[in-house]
Structure formats: C-alpha cells, structure tokens
Amino acid sequence: MAPPPDLTNLPDAGVAALAQRGREDAFREIVRRYERPVFSLIYRMVRDSAAAEDLAQDAFIKVLNHIDKYQPEFKLSSWLFKIANNVAIDHLRRRQLHTVSMSGSPDATSAEEIEATSFELADTADSPLDEIESREIGSAIERAIGKLRPEYRSCILLRHVEARSYEEIAATLDLPLGTVKTYIHRARIELRALLQHLRE
C-alpha cells in the first residue's frame, strides 16, 4: 500500500481534492495554509481581534461544510477569501458596526486626540518622530477604510492589502469585473475625501 502523499508539498488543488474525499489531515492542511490570511482579511474588515477569531472559525466551518462545492479550476485562495469576506460582511451588516481603529496613538483616548496627534506629527517631517508619523498616517488610512461601506472596503483591502488583481477580486467577491472597478474607483474617491478632511 502506497504511503499517503506529503500534504505540505501538494498544490492547493491537490489538497482540496483530498479534503473533498474526507481526508481530515487535508482539511487541517488547508487551515494551516490559510488560517493567517483569512484572519487578517476578516480582522481588517471588522477591526476587532476577538470577533475576527470567531468569524475566521465560522469561515473555516463553512469551508468544511461546503468543500464539495469547490471547483479546482478556480484558485483555492479566492474561494476561501470569498467565504471569509461574506462572513465578515454578514457580521458587519448584522451588527451595523462602525469599524474605526483606535490604536494609532498609545496615549490618545479619543478619535479627536488621535487625529490631533497625527496632525502635529505631520508638521514635523524632518524630526526623529518620522517612524511614529508613518504609523499615525497608517492609522488614519485604516480609520478611513473602516468608514467605507463593506463592499467598497472588501475591494480596497483585496486590491491594496492582499495585492489581488481586478479579475481575482471579481472572482473572490462574485462580482462583475466592471462593478469591482467601479467600487474601487468610488472607494478611492471617498478615501481621498476622508483623508483630506483629517488633514484640515
């Protein structure tokens, strides 16, 4: 009897095929490969670590329950991200969360203080605080992304954080390519407006 294949060296499609046959170790391998990316995507959507952990578990339960529906002509990662994205959007719609990151400044206790710190640092570009300023700008961007409607947020995160192509985003979100481009265009306009407002 031939030994089972080394799952770590199998491509995604091969591991998924074994998982579809009921191999628990194959499903565990899928989780091992994509646990962090799925959590990261969901966390950037909901901006809450505990909620993201629960939602990531929910996403993988859905993956397990529907692994038979995966079609190997599509990227496994795109299929997984589609499920994770849907779980996150359902959560946001259900709870009507306003996902604003408050972690930009360790000493700030309100959004106004965080923004004030960002503006103060922005005026000291040549100071030793450049690295802190960079983090503050990143936090301002995250806060702005958190204010986008969930569909726009998904597209922006997949495009600029996960570095997905427009075609991959369309496949992941099950949207027409033109809709993806429109969402990203509109999201960029909204982000520019939000970030300009933060700078005033």
φ, ψ for residue 4, nearest 5 deg: -65, 150
Structure tokens at 15: 């591991």
Domain of residue 52, residue span:
7-98
In a domain, 89, yes or no: yes
Q: Indicate whether 106 belongs to any domain.
A: no
Count structural domains, the chain: 1
Residue percentage of the chain with pLDDT more than 70: 73
Report the CATH number that the domain containing residue 22 is assigned in CATH.
Answer: 1.10.1740.10
Residue 140 lies in a domain: no
Is residue 186 domain-resident? no
Residues 6+ apart with CB under 8 A from 60: 31, 35, 38
CA distances from 127 to 77, 133, 199 (A): 42, 10, 19
Total length of the chain = 200
User: 82 and 162 in contact (C-beta within 8 Å)?
Assistant: no
Interatomic CA distance for residues 46 and 76, integer angstroms: 23
Contacts of 134 (CB under 8 A, 6+ apart): none
Answer whether residue 141 is part of any domain.
no
Which residue's entry shows tokens 């990531």?
A: 56
Cβ neighbour number for residue 16 with a 10 Å cutoff? 23
**pLDDT tens, residue by residue, 80-106:** 998 998 899 888 877 653 433 333 333
Confidence of residue 15 (pLDDT cuts 50, 70, 90): very high
Task: Assess if residue 79 is contained within a domain.
Answer: yes
Query: Quick one: pLDDT band at residue 5, thresholds 50, 70, 90?
Result: low
Q: Does residue 25 lie in a domain region? A: yes
Q: How many CB atoms lie within 10 A of CB 86?
A: 16
Q: Give the span between the Cα atoms of 200 and 135, in whole angstroms.
A: 19
User: What number is the average pLDDT over the span 47-70?
Assistant: 92
Q: Is 35 inside a domain boundary?
A: yes
